[in-house]
A = this chain, B = another copy of it.
Amino acid sequence: MAQIDPAFLKTSEALGELPLSHVRLHADARFAWIVLIPRLAGARELEDLSSAARAQLMEEIVLASDAVRAVGQAIGRPSGKINVGQLGNITPQLHVHVVGRGPDDPAWPGPVWGFGEAEAYGPEDLAAATAAAKAALGL
């Protein structure tokens, strides 16, 4: 079982556990944004997962996409597009970003990674986002 890199603990809130991955809400109110962290110690790339685990990760990405759309509705930032990214250039522990996007978001049409500074959630929006995400994820 992998420990979660402290970098994620500082920048996101736990939503719960899917069969393969920890699921976290990325704490940036500019975007509806979920991070999946497969629970395999030492994994850095998709090739470090078994083929079966990769298929499961893909299904968790699609489930997280639904959750991102629900978060977007909850915080008044509807997501017309989903962006998925597996980078890890800064935090090497394998993780996948699932982010709601649209022409009204501040980084559109560029990528969100490294774009400006995160904006803290207010407590009401954080509660609404978390509740919406958990409901969509079945958590």
Contact = CB atoms under 8 A, between A and B. Distances in A.
B109 A89 contact: yes
Nearest to A85: B85
A86 B86 CA distance: 9
Number of copies: 2
Given A83-B89, A85-B111, 17 more contacts: A46-B61, A46-B62, A46-B84, A51-B55, A54-B55, A54-B58, A54-B59, A55-B58, A58-B58, A84-B85, A89-B101, A89-B108, A89-B109, A90-B109, A109-B114, A110-B113, A111-B114
14 contacts: A45-B65, A46-B58, A46-B82, A47-B65, A51-B55, A51-B58, A54-B58, A83-B85, A83-B86, A83-B89, A85-B85, A109-B114, A111-B111, A111-B113
Interface of A: 44-47, 51, 54-55, 57-59, 61-62, 65-66, 81-90, 101, 108-111, 113-114
